[in-house]
Amino acid sequence: MTDFIDLRSDTVTRPTPAMRKAMAEAEVGDDVFGDDPTVNSLQEFAADLLGKEAGLFVPTGSMGNQVCLGALARPGDEVVCEAGAHFLHYEGGSVAAHLGLVARPLPGDGAIITAHQVAGVIRPGTEHNPRTAVVAMENTHNSAGGRVFPIDEARAVAKVAHDQGVAVHIDGARIFNAQAATGLPAREWADCADTLTFCFSKGLGAPIGSMVVGSAEILKESHRIRKRLGGGMRQVGVIAAAAQVALETGVDRLAEDHANARRLAEGLAELDPQAVDLDLVETNMVYLNLVPFNRTGPEVSAALKVDGVLTLGPPGTTMRLVTHRDVSAENITSAGAALSRALLG
């Protein structure tokens, strides 16, 4: 797979030599006993960066969402979210299966839910209704093409929720892409939220790991849920060491991925103006509309693979292309040419 230009996801990056070195040299301890110094220092570093009291290292973004939502809500409560939220569609129904929560999906405008919408659905809970316990936002929003959740709207949503005693969670798997796209520090969004989770294993380029940040009190409960889900890890400093390198070196280069995504999108728009909505390409994702080319995802994906480009080829007529550290500007030129052959050939 290393010979391919891999546009399936930004999760596919290989650890850098600096990450491998840090992993090999990491000081470790048993993190279930709280004595892994590499994990402890990463948690403190991340909490500080995002302006929160505490951090909790978790293996995946999916577990990050669960330990946050589980700490903020009780079984039978409702979590308000956008209809395309990642945890609703791509995390195996975990919010229902593991936490016993009811999701209240709202149709977002380009996947952005508004304070006005949220205000209209919050309910205190009666013998009939579930109690709205959490409002969740996703930033950047994966299924909306990696769009940034506008900070003013995030603040307004948080205010409406907090005014009614409802907690706020942000699935910030790619929060640093939002930072890179806007120049606003990620902590501005974190300020809106009671809990936020972000991933080291996406654009930041680490092999494994996500972080949850929030107050010490909430994270104490998240910690308990992490153990319950089987996420209590032992000498996990070997992984945290790579995550630390990712956080220190991965953020500043995200702008390159965004520039590559834009150039790829512009090339596709030249093939057909309907191919891509350029306004939606804000970060490192391009959603390609295959309808003008009269092709399906699996067909295009198969043709691209023969030409050295890996993509996810889901059934249907939309294909996601994701840029990341292991895709160079030169690779983008080659991928653009391969796409042109696959779509028009």
Asked if residue 90 binds ligand TLP (CB under 6 A), the reply is yes
Nearest CB to ligand TLP, comparing residues 149 and 293: 149
Asked if residue 82 binds ligand TLP (CB under 6 A), the reply is no
- Report the alpha-carbon distance of residue 87 to residue 81 in Å, rounded: 9
Q: Which region among 59-67, 256-264, 273-281, 298-306 touches ligand TLP (by CB under 6 A)?
A: 59-67
Residue 32 DSSP class: G
Q: Which region among 60-68, 97-105, 123-131, 251-259 touches ligand TLP (by CB under 6 A)?
A: 60-68
Which residues, 6+ apart, have CB-to-CB distance to 155 below 8 Å? Answer: 192
The tokens of 93 are what?
């129904």
φ, ψ for residue 37, nearest 5 deg: -65, -30
Q: Which region among 15-23, 55-63, 231-239, 302-310 touches ligand TLP (by CB under 6 A)?
A: 55-63
Asked if residue 9 binds ligand TLP (CB under 6 A), the reply is yes
Using alpha carbons, list the distances in angstroms from residue 323 to 6, 39, 158, 234, 252: 8, 28, 31, 33, 15
To ligand TLP, the closest distance from the beta carbon of 299 in angstroms equals 21
DSSP string, 73-116: --TT-EEEEETT-HHHHSSTTHHHHTT-PEEEEE--BTTB--HH
Among 289, 325, 327, smallest CA distance to 308 is for 327
- Report the alpha-carbon distance of residue 83 to residue 46 in Å, rounded: 29
Tell me the residue type at 207: P
Q: Residue 318's beta-bridge partner residues?
A: 289
- Report the alpha-carbon distance of residue 209 to residue 157 in Å, rounded: 28
Nearest CB to ligand TLP, comparing residues 60 and 117: 60
Asked if residue 257 binds ligand TLP (CB under 6 A), the reply is no
C-beta neighbour count of 41 within 10 angstroms: 15
Asked whether the beta carbons of 123 and 134 are under 8 A apart, the reply is no
Q: Which region among 19-27, 54-62, 221-229, 288-296 touches ligand TLP (by CB under 6 A)?
A: 54-62
To ligand TLP, the closest distance from the beta carbon of 81 in angstroms equals 11
Asked if residue 323 binds ligand TLP (CB under 6 A), the reply is no
Q: Which parts of 10-39 interact with ligand TLP (CB under 6 A)?
A: 11
Nearest CB to ligand TLP, comparing residues 122 and 196: 196
Q: Which region among 44-52, 58-66, 74-82, 326-334 touches ligand TLP (by CB under 6 A)?
A: 58-66
To ligand TLP, the closest distance from the beta carbon of 67 in angstroms equals 12
To ligand TLP, the closest distance from the beta carbon of 82 in angstroms equals 11
Question: Which of 138, 194, 257, 282 touches ligand TLP by CB under 6 A?
Answer: 138
To ligand TLP, the closest distance from the beta carbon of 86 in angstroms equals 4
Interface positions with ligand TLP (CB under 6 A): 9, 11, 60-62, 86, 90, 138, 142, 171, 173, 199, 201, 210
